[in-house]
Structure 1
Amino acid sequence: MNETNELQILLTYTDVALASSLIIVVLLVSWRLRLGLTKTLLMAAVRTIIQLSFIGLILAWIFAREHWYEVLVILTIMTLIAAGAAKNRVKRAYKGLLTDTFIAVSTSAILVTIVAILLILQVKPWYTPQFIIPILGLILGNSLTAISLTSNQLINTFHEQQARIEMMLSLSATPYEAVHEPIRAAIINGMTPTLNSMLVVGIVSLPGMMTGQIMAGADPTQAVRYQIVTMFLICVSSTLGCTLSALLIYRRFFNRQQQLILPS
């Protein structure tokens, strides 16, 4: 590792290789306890290196050019991948789930990113890749987790509580009244990881973004301010995404006659 005059530590490929070798410890634990995760761990490690190295080259190229249409292509690809990842985490998928997931992920993430870029950070031009790509990436990564948790629990609840919901409908309850509690519980479930991280941030954990900035030599007070901003952006985006996802699923599970249906 090389130390600069500004106390920044520049990582070499040797440093990265040394850090990568630590995965051997995890592999040994998996083998000794017979966790059956050896193949998954190796694949995850290899994909981490390949994917991050590839995106590093892409970002370096995008940062050097700063063309708005190239930035939009990257943002679109990121959003599509996030929607697909959220959909794939749902065990009981139905036809149209990918569309619903994409709407929830893209709407929440794009709205919050626009607010961050135009109103909070006031980035000019708005498509400056140094800001918009990392911000959208942070928001998408957390939103897809929240949305997948909400979707998975709500769909499972609709299947498991079909008899209860139909009984409430037969007693003159509206569809929303019949499923209000499952929707509420699903949104809370999706929001739990975000809320938990907000409760302990700065006390138990230092988030990756803040840690990376400090290690790169940034002013700690500025790193803290950026982290506060991103935490609130993530919270708002996750809330919007979970709520929108729940409402879209709710729409799929009731027909025009206000009858419960189980789409496949």
Structure 2
Amino acid sequence: MDYIFLNYFQLVGAVLLILINVILSLWLRLGLEKSLLIASLRMVIQLLLIGYVLEWLFNLSDPWLVMAIALIMAAIAGVSAVNRTSRRFPSIYWRSLISVLISSFLITNLSVAGIIRVDPWYDPQYLIPLLGMILGNTLTGISLGLDKFMDNLLKNRHQVETLLSLGASRWEATHKEITSAITTGMIPTINSMMVMGLVSLPGMMTGQILAGATPLNAVRYQVVITFAIASASALGTLMIVLLAWIALTTPNHQLKIALLHHPQK
């Protein structure tokens, strides 16, 4: 089957589908119509802009420019991960950025250069889309794990401090909070993998099939990106929780819970 090119009139038809959400919001008085329209407008503008940027980038294929775009994407993901949490502490943005950079860049490069074996490895047609999918899922894991860890420390503060006063190390006293946070960060990826192919057809696989790839080849690519996402999400969640643990405890086995605060509105 030939690839079907979508023109702007067809896109307008797709945009009109959001009117279903708007009508439901007005009918049920949900008050979401303004948010829906703003979100829709932002999404369309952002996707069109990135489409033009990627076309320009694919034509240039400059390794330094590709890496610059990748770093910008990672920086935005690091900030976005923190912005989804309900609390802050000093250096939280830097720690999030470090977690995003190491986890996503390591797994993306292993996938592109070691598994798919793209030549050259910085080919933006492969590197940028794969990195984007990995970043999107990694920042979700990081934000969930980080928020859960900070929430756990506040809820179980007295229990942790009691354990510390009885001679437990900071690792022993907070081990339960750490493992709970890491588990929370990994749950969305595990849930997605559980129903993949039965309930949901993943985006990368669907996109390749629509672009003309055979279903089996599309499945192979989806397997690669799914395991890459799972690995990066787990690694990123582990890193941010441990970095937050270092920031909120001391080598003298004390809690620095006073550092936690709600973001200023």
Query: What is the CA distance between 1:106 and its match in structure 2?
Result: 0.9
The SS at the match of 2:103 is: helix
What is the CA-CA distance between 1:256 and the residue it aligns to?
Answer: 2.8
Q: What percent of counterpart residues are identical?
A: 42
> Is the counterpart of residue 157 in structure 1 residue 152 in structure 2?
yes
Take 1:37 and 1:164, find their aligned partners in 2: how far apart are those partners? 41
State the match for 1:38 in structure 2. Answer: 33
Q: Tell me by how many angstroms 1:42 deviates.
A: 1.0
Q: Give the corresponding residue for 1:141.
A: 136
Deviations 1:177-204 (A, max 9, x none): 1111111111111111100000000000
Please state how far the C-alpha of 1:160 moved relative to its aligned partner: 1.7
Once residues 178 and 35 of structure 2 are traced to their aligned partners in structure 1, the CA distance between those partners, rounded to angstroms, is 33
Question: Which residue among 232, 249, 253 is the counterpart of 1:254?
Answer: 249
Cα RMSD (Å): 0.9
Q: Which residue of 1 aligns with 2:110?
A: 115
TM-score (norm 2): 0.96
The residue that corresponds to 1:87 in the other structure is 82
Matches of 2:76 and 2:34 in 1, distance apart?
23
Post-superposition shift, 1:66?
0.6
Structure 1 residues not aligned, in runs of 5+: 1-5
- Ranges of 4+ aligned residues in structure 1 off by more than 4 Å: none
1:216 deviation in Å? Answer: 1.4
**Further displaced range: 61-70 or 28-37:** 28-37
Distance 1:40 1:107 in 2: 34
Alignment of 1:189-204 (within 5 A): 189-204=184-199
2:59 counterpart residue number: 64
1-side partners of 2:251 and 2:196: how far apart? Answer: 45
In 2: Cα distance, 1:28 partner to 1:66 partner: 45
CA distance in 2, matches of 1:37, 1:186: 31
Q: Which moved more, 1:36-45 or 1:92-101?
A: 36-45
CA drift of 1:126 comes to 1.1
Which 5+ residue runs of structure 2 have no aligned equivalent? 261-265
Q: Does 1:216 align with 2:215?
A: no
CA separation in 1, counterparts of 2:237 and 2:174? Answer: 15
Aligned residues: 259
Once the 2 structures are TM-superposed, how far is the Cα of residue 67 of structure 1 from its aligned partner?
0.7
Give the secondary-structure state (helix, strand or coil) at the position aligned to 1:10.
coil
Using the size of structure 1 for normalisation, the TM-score is 0.96
User: SS of the counterpart of 1:44?
Assistant: helix
1:117, CA displacement in angstroms? 1.3
